[in-house]
Amino acid sequence: MKNTRREFLQKVGVSAVALQLASVTGWASEKQTAQAYDGPVLRVAILGLGNYAARVADAMQGCTKAKLVGLISGTPAKIEKWSAKYNIPAKNCYNYGNFDQIKSNPDIDAVYVITPNGTHHDFIIRTAKAGKHAISEKPMAISVKQGEAMIAACKQAGVKLLVGYRMHFEPKTLEVIRMRKEGEFGKILFFQGLCGFKIGDPKQWRLNKELAGGGSMMDIGIYAINGARYMTGEEPVWVTAQETKTDPVKFKEGVDETIQFQFGFPSGATASCLSTYNMNGLDKFFLNGEHGYAEMQPSTNYGPIMGHTNQGELTQPVTVHQTVQMDEFAEIIFHDKQPPVPVDGHEAVKDLKIISAIYEAAKTGKKVSMSV
């Protein structure tokens, strides 16, 4: 049976789908009734029409500030199916070969690259050269060097580079961040992030080093890395890590199965995290401070996110993450809105630097000092 991160994240929240939809519908209706939007709409083309792209496309049907207007794929059958489903005109449909012609299309503002990690670099640079705003799924690239080149290309072209950090807009997550910023937990002492699932099909791209850039760390571990940073509000100054591999046939050289990793922060706070492709049901964040705590489980799946603090249950509204993300991206691109947690290329490169340090620490067995 084939399992992917996206299928896992979807299944974790499946028992509460009815609750989620009811909450989202009610909240969205209330929001729209309160204030109708009449500003500019971000016109987006999706590049790479896989499972997660389908989730984004469906979610965008609920956006008020962003709209799906274009498709880019190497599979003609997908273009035909998607263009019919989402009413996309033929003039806004491209393949990977003629994609650069998007430069001459005034009806597309941005391209959202949702392809295997190892292909993000080239597609984002082509997007920038075409003069379109660039959105990349995470991880943004498979190396720091690639990530920095993507930032440079977008800067030179005068376009924005954003990354699909959907949790940076999730209400319960933002409430915990607010509480931490306002000192409600006191001095932060410790963070724990557990992220993992048992991966299926050994032939999938996530187990191909060239396409994935690694293994579980690049796919699911990045949630714990990024979570450790936004939950504590600090950047790590040292990293230690230990790798465990039980199936070297499935998890070939350079494709990690399970890595435990630890961070130290400037304040003295520490973090202990786990990234794995060999254990199901791991989706938990825990933040501890001198005067309180926050626990979230599920912490990063598609919803509903659930959690509580020492003050009680987190009751912020359930949202469709990708809908909120795309509307917020429109605000960032058109109005230079600054989100509570950054979603730009520099934020992504910080994660890539930490991933590199984790791999180095796991390989050498030594504590790696770092600065992002």
Contacts for 327 with CB less than 8 Å, ≥ 6 apart:
63, 64, 65, 66
Whether 78 is a known active-site residue: answer no
Within 51-146, strands assigned E span 66-72, 93-94, 110-113, 133-136
The whole-angstrom separation of Cα 100 and Cα 65 is 25
The whole-angstrom separation of Cα 59 and Cα 14 is 16
Predicted pLDDT of residue 5:
57
Residue 174 CA: distances (Å) to CA of 41, 75, 90, 140, 166: 25, 38, 40, 22, 11
Which residue type does 6 have?
R
User: What are the mean pLDDT values of the chain's consecutive 10-residue runs (372 residues total)?
Assistant: 54 45 40 69 98 98 98 98 98 98 98 98 98 98 98 98 98 98 98 98 96 98 98 98 97 98 98 98 98 98 96 98 98 97 98 98 98 92
The whole-angstrom separation of Cα 42 and Cα 135 is 12
The tens digit of pLDDT for each residue in 294-328 reads: 999 999 999 899 999 999 999 999 999 999 999 99
Closest CA to 147 of 169, 163, 167: 163
The pairing of strands 270-276 and 282-289 is unpaired
The single residue of 112, 165, 223, 302 carrying the catalytic annotation is: 223
Whether 293 is a known active-site residue: answer no
Predicted pLDDT of residue 16:
42
Tell me if residue 66 falls in helix, strand or coil.
strand
The tens digit of pLDDT for each residue in 179-204 reads: 999 999 999 999 999 999 999 999 99
CA dihedral 177, 181, 187, 192 (to 10 degrees): 10
The single residue of 138, 172, 284, 353 carrying the catalytic annotation is: 138
Predicted pLDDT of residue 3:
56
Domains of the chain (ranges; CATH) run 37-163 (3.40.50.720), 167-316+344-369 (3.30.360.10)
Predicted pLDDT of residue 99:
97
Retrieve residue 62's tokens.
């609920």
DSSP for 193-260, written as a single string: EEEE-----TTSGGG-HHHHSSSHIIIIIHHHHHHHHHHHT---SEEEEEEE-S-TTTS-TT--SEEE
Predicted pLDDT of residue 36:
84
Within the chain, strands assigned E span 42-47, 66-72, 93-94, 110-113, 133-136, 161-163, 188-196, 238-244, 258-264, 270-276, 282-289, 293-296, 307-309, 312-313, 368-369
